[in-house]
Structure 1
């Protein structure tokens, strides 16, 4: 494997994905992905044993996660839509690159993008509001937004090209400071106000660092609900930054703004100042691979599993409590460090007593960031990273 994680298998998978994009466009836009739940916002099937259906959004159920599988299958990945999933013809698709920091506007087809060196990146993909419901159920606070538990997350291996390579080929000026990514989904209307298509700027340094233009997930073309035929991926950052159905990139010598970084996806309320910065790097979180209020069989030993992740880097340690926080022990980490991807872990529960119990998991990443006991309040319910108290019953 090379320094960039590129292998012959990666190259073959990327090439196959590119060859498939145009040929599958009609199928993806037609009967194969006819909405069966979440309609009309979401196109892929949402079986209730896999998802909590919120209509425009769908949350992965942790009890549907296979502890033996590291990656999240696209069919199981959560969906966060502001409006509805569009159907886009890959054969006529173009990515526009424009702005005062480029030599001239460019229009790139998928074929053009496939001429760049392909790469793949494995990273956690997560909604900024993941865990939002626990502000109410665990901290007694009222916040707005979709009442996610912890299933608005997944780990995916993305196939695509580095944004840095594309920007350099477009002749971006050295004094560029900001890039605004705009999606091709319908305009978002709220309170009678048309805010336009979903779009959000990010610093040019992130664009040159690890940003990706992705056409594939886990070796296959993107599903429509996850950005087909092309999306932006900003590893480690809030999900809203990884714009789906990418239509254009505006590169500017001045700071760009949109409602998605000035009005939403920044902290407000509580102790936060009015000029709190836009949210970027995801916090540290942990989840048990169990239903909420799970009933567990009484045995001499129970093997419990879960996953932890951080936007800043690998997980270094996971501490767990099987008695509501009275005692703690180290969980066994089951994966080698993988950048901004998650880590699976397990713990043996010897001779659990019958009755109600509360499970806790607290992760710490390689930078020393750890989960707190309480998440500071914010009105939008972003970044709930406190240790979640997971109830179970042994019977």
Structure 2
């Protein structure tokens, strides 16, 4: 087993007491092209069209991967970038360059990243409930193979104390101002138990360096948890012996509503969902069709069922498994208006209401016209 000292020496890491800034250059809100065939743009965000994923394989192509930005994509200088690990929860603060990260033992994981508000619009259109936030359908999700360094390894190299309880990752995008209030840079705490479990500090996406919109030069990947936990443009990790907080776990990303406590319930893990690789309100020809789609769940997908008649359910055939499950099912399409439904085992018909529209996990009714 490689020792902490051996890894530090091999990578040429330095132990520093101070936190150094990284430089960012102003950029468009989103850098990559956003063709109408692939995306629906919601202000600073871009939602993937499900029909654009048909035939693309299990990994979402980077050009088609959804974008969730609070402000705009920063253009960071990789040569001056540093990841600072500091705080009362570590014995030896570290300052790591991108070269340092790449010199450490690496690992990779295929994992879905999904906005906590994915499916939010269906609270209104299916359940008749008013919610706030970006009106995503189901396209605020993507699956990629991420490569980087285990966060647990980095924390151990920094001398993680037994008394440490929280890790607060912070991004290097612009400070977020809303309603005239500056909330600072996007940051949200993770319990040390999760940080040591399966969290990755990633520098590659689908075998290539992270693109600017997806976190270059490094980001967190927190499998199974809502997307806000996977902080992009990672600049620092504060490790603390006491609980840490930010507006992204006290003001936002809490379940609020009549069935929740007054201060809400913190949103952490995602919920199961299923989607057809079809445009919303698509028109398809009559006759034999093969419906395709994808289902995903933090707890894994055992089976997927599809309904084309509003009454009965048929089991779909898996095509591939990984971060999500791709599937297909035959359909003899007859002329007229139809509603297609797909569900993971246990997926409910209605999702618990919350005012900010998080974690919509009900079966979605997808309209299709057969001509």
TM-score (norm 2): 0.91
3-state SS of paired residue (1:358): strand
Residue equivalent to 2:248: 260
1:333 aligns with 2:318: yes
Gaps in structure 2 of 5+ consecutive residues: 1-23
Residue equivalent to 1:302: 289
How many residues matched?
A: 348
Alpha-carbon contact 1:67-1:305 (below 8 Å) kept? no
- Residue pairs, 1:153-232, within 5 angstroms: 153-232=141-220
3-state SS of paired residue (1:141): coil
Query: Which residue of 68, 73, 82 corresponds with 2:61?
Result: 73
Alpha-carbon contact 1:67-1:289 (below 8 Å) kept? no
1:322 aligns with 2:317: no
- Residue pairs, 1:29-178, within 5 angstroms: 40-178=28-166
Alpha-carbon contact 1:177-1:255 (below 8 Å) kept? yes
* Cα distance in 2, alignment partners of residues 114 and 389 from structure 1: 45
* Cα distance in 1, alignment partners of residues 283 and 226 from structure 2: 33
* Cα distance in 1, alignment partners of residues 269 and 55 from structure 2: 26
Query: Which residue of 373, 381, 385 corresponds with 2:361?
Result: 385
* Cα distance in 1, alignment partners of residues 138 and 125 from structure 2: 13
Detail structure 1 runs of 4+ shifted over 3 Å in the superposition.
none
Q: Deviations over 1:39-83 (max 9, x none)?
A: x31111100100001120000000111335110011110000001
Gaps in structure 1 of 5+ consecutive residues: 1-27, 365-369
Residue equivalent to 1:4: none
Q: Deviations over 1:246-301 (max 9, x none)?
A: 010000111111110011001001311123332111100000000111111111x2
Alpha-carbon contact 1:78-1:151 (below 8 Å) kept? yes
3-state SS of paired residue (1:248): strand
Query: Which residue of 340, 346, 351 corresponds with 1:375?
Result: 351
Q: Superposition RMSD on alpha carbons, in Å?
A: 1.4
1:361 aligns with 2:342: yes
TM-score (norm 1): 0.86
* Cα distance in 1, alignment partners of residues 69 and 258 from structure 2: 27
3-state SS of paired residue (2:360): coil
Shift of 1:29: 7.4
Q: Deviations over 1:142-168 (max 9, x none)?
A: 111111000000100001011111111
* Cα distance in 2, alignment partners of residues 66 and 360 from structure 1: 17
